[in-house]
């Protein structure tokens, strides 16, 4: 028997940028959980005097991934001591390509953590797995991964005004989210499919000693609370304003770091202008957001999908690498099950 865990990626609305301690966030963040961009991980195990792991990605050995998995297993040892007597066999695959504007580390560590949490619940004869524990473990692999475990909306980071919020794990806000956001669309325009000049890890580190770090912290706490209110009320005008402000703030922090850098490309900026012009002309409530890269996420209610499809096709031909874009939808979070 094996455990199969499926975990989607997510797109942050209020951005997490900067770390403290071991994978603790400098500020709280809020994200939409996706559905189509996901990692499927199979976990098998056997008892062993010498705990170890093997890893296959899409059927092949990937030695470059092994140090990250080793570090992850060491970090979660205090949360999952039962693993110390096991030899793990891990096999993963993605439903989306690398360098696609989708955070593969979020879905990958989310899926692996959920599979391990499922295994732990079985070893302890517990009827249900501990999703908070899975989220905490996921955080120790990739910070944003902890939000992907939850349906619709995930929030990570302690906020004094948000009940149950924590720096250790994320919480789900699906029950406090307006129906319009529960089927929201995310189209990702692939502006640049190359490796980023500055990794996200390096970018997080540059927030230490950043001249605007304290101002960003204050802003993020305010934005996080405001975004939860917007998601509950369904106020699309405010959603657009705050989501785009957060995207541009993220890249402004990169430009104003002690070692400045720019991840947007000329076509990124052109698309942002096209989005604003299209919204003004059509009154369709579409907005953009960006992760730490050049690719553009287009967020809009699913009721406008037909009107937007042709326009996005044109955008892709003009601005995307190889005229490519991905279509995704807000989804129901991560799941796990036993398989033969």
CATH code at position 164: 3.30.230.10
**Does residue 340 sit within a domain?**
no
HEC readout, 38-100: EEEEEEEEEECCCCEEEEEECCEECHHHHHHHHHHHHHCCCCCHHHHHEEEEEEEEECCCCCC
CATH code at position 207: 3.30.70.890
What is the pTM for the complete model shown? 0.95
Q: What is the per-residue DSSP string for 277-310?
A: HHHHHH----EEEE-SSS-EEEEE-GGGHHHHHH
Q: Are residues 111 and 188 in the same domain?
A: no
Three-class DSSP category at 197:
coil
Identify the domain boundary among 127, 152, 177: 177
**Does residue 18 sit within a domain?**
yes
**Does residue 205 sit within a domain?**
yes
**Domain count within the chain:** 2
340 residues of the chain, pLDDT tens digit each:
899 999 999 999 999 999 999 999 999 999 999 999 999 999 999 999 888 999 999 999 999 999 999 999 999 999 999 999 999 999 999 998 765 567 789 999 999 999 999 999 999 999 899 999 999 999 999 999 999 999 999 999 999 999 999 999 999 999 999 999 999 999 999 998 777 888 888 999 999 999 999 999 999 999 999 999 999 999 999 999 999 999 999 999 999 999 999 999 999 999 999 999 999 999 999 999 999 999 999 999 999 999 999 999 999 999 998 888 999 999 999 999 999 7
**CA-CA distance, 204 to 182, in Å (whole number)?**
30
Whether 243 and 299 have beta carbons less than 8 Å apart is answered as: yes
For 153, the domain range is 2-177
């Amino acid at each position: 028997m094996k455990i199969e865990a499926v975990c989607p990626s997510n797109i942050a609305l209020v951005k997490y940028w900067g770390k403290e301690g071991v994978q603790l966030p400098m500020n709280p963040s809020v994200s939409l959980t996706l559905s189509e961009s996901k990692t499927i991980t199979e976990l098998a195990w056997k008892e062993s005097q010498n705990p170890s792991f093997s890893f296959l990605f899409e059927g092949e050995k990937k030695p470059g991934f092994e140090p990250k998995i080793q570090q992850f297993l060491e970090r979660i040892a205090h949360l999952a001591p039962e693993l110390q007597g096991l030899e793990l066999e891990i096999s993963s695959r993605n439903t989306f390509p690398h360098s696609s504007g989708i955070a593969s580390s979020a879905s990958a560590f989310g899926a692996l953590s959920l599979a391990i949490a499922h295994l732990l619940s079985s070893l302890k004869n517990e009827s249900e797995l501990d999703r908070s524990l899975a989220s905490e473990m996921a955080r120790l692999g990739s910070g944003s991964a902890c939000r992907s475990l939850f349906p619709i909306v995930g929030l990570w980071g302690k906020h004094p005004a948000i009940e149950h919020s924590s720096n250790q794990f994320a919480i789900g806000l699906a029950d406090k989210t307006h129906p319009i956001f529960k089927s929201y669309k995310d189209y990702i325009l692939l502006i640049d499919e190359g490796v980023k000049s500055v990794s996200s890890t390096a970018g997080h580190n540059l927030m230490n000693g950043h001249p605007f770090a304290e101002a960003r912290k204050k802003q993020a706490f305010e934005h996080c609370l405001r975004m939860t209110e917007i998601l509950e009320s369904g106020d699309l005008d405010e959603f657009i304003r705050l989501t785009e402000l957060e995207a541009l703030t993220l890249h402004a922090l990169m430009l104003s770091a002690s070692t400045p850098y720019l991840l947007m490309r000329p076509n990124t900026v052109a698309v942002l202008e096209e989005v604003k012009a299209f919204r003004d002309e059509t009154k369709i409530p579409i907005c953009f957001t960006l992760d730490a890269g050049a690719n553009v996420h287009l967020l809009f209610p699913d009721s406008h999908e037909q009107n937007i499809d042709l326009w996005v096709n044109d955008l892709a031909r003009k601005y995307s690498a190889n005229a490519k874009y991905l279509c995704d939808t807000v989804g129901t979070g991560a799941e796990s099950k036993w398989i033969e």
